[in-house]
A = this chain, B = another copy of it.
Amino acid sequence: MSNFKVLPILDPEAAGAVAPCCPPLTERPLTAEEAEQTARMFKALGDPVRLRLFSLVASHEGGEACVCDISDVGVSQPTVSHHLKKLKEAGLLTSERRGTWVYYRVEPSVLAAMGRLLTSAALN
């Protein structure tokens, strides 16, 4: 029998977490890998309905919302669910099931990193 013990490797992407990325845009060009990761987040916000839903969650009481809180965006509840899932996959929202509903909240560290990316660029 071997004495080796295989330790689990923590894979942040598999765990659903996305490391905030990258230096301010004015500092240096993004690498292909950094651009790949960051573009995924911008793309998730690049759809009007999705962006509106994101602002609904971000501005909702307590900083979280479930599909049951969202009714006035002009799309069906399954479509709302689909978009919220996409925002979660991009690392912009986290979710937690409580009873019947899944509650979504914004991921502040990722948002802050994206904001820094743009704001610092604008200040230089």
Contact = CB atoms under 8 A, between A and B. Distances in A.
Number of copies: 2
A34 to B, nearest CB: 8
A85 interface: no
Interface residues of A, number: 47
Nearest to A40: B46
**Majority SS at the chain A contact face:** helix
Given A42-B45, A49-B35, A25 B55 contact: yes
Given A112-B122, A118-B118, 17 more contacts: A26-B59, A29-B52, A29-B55, A32-B48, A35-B48, A38-B51, A39-B46, A39-B47, A42-B51, A43-B46, A43-B47, A108-B121, A111-B121, A111-B122, A114-B118, A115-B117, A115-B118
